């Protein structure tokens, strides 16, 4: 079983839609959690950290449920520029483990 699992998608949504991505992790000792974004043929870049209380950055909301070992990312009012692969990342003792990513395509 992979340490970090994500639905690979693809998610194809129209502009303006709300879309949610889920991620589960297997190691309960994991300490910190993140979402990265990777554009096609590019390097991953940090989108946002995920805090236990939930956090929001503009149209993006991240949630963490430690009891269920579950992380989510919600994107509201999707833009064409949101099209990318979203990587769930879990950190334990400075060992960052990446999910395989969920691909999102936002269409006009």
Partner 1 sequence: DADVTQTPRNRITKTGKRIMLECSQTKGHDRMYWYRQDPGLGLRLIYYSFDVKDINKGEISDGYSVSRQAQAKFSLSLESAIPNQTALYFCATSDLLGDNTGELFFGEGSRLTVL
Interaction site with partner 1 (CB under 8 A): 2, 4, 8, 31-34, 42-46, 49, 87, 89, 91, 94-101
> Cβ distance 72 to 63 under 8 Å?
yes
Q: How far is the CB of 12 from partner 1 (least distance, A)?
A: 19
Minimum distance, C-beta of residue 48 to partner 1, in the bound complex (Å): 9
DSSP string, 23-86: EEES-TT--EEEEEEE-TTS-EEEEEEE-TT-EEETTEEEEEETTTTEEEEEE-S--GGG-EEE
User: By C-beta, is 19 or 99 nearer to partner 1?
Assistant: 99
Nearer of residues 46 and 80 to partner 1, judged by Cβ = 46
């Amino acid at each position: 079983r992979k340490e970090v699992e994500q639905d690979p998608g693809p998610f194809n949504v129209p502009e303006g839609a709300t879309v949610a991505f889920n991620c589960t992790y297997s190691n309960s000792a994991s300490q910190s959690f993140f979402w990265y974004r990777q554009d096609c043929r590019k390097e991953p870049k940090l989108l946002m950290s995920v805090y236990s209380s939930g956090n929001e950055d503009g149209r993006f909301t991240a949630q963490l449920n430690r009891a269920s070992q579950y992380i989510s990312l919600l994107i509201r009012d999707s833009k064409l520029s949101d099209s990318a692969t979203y990587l769930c990342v879990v950190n334990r003792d400075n060992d960052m483990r990446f999910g395989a990513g969920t691909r999102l395509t936002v269409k006009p």
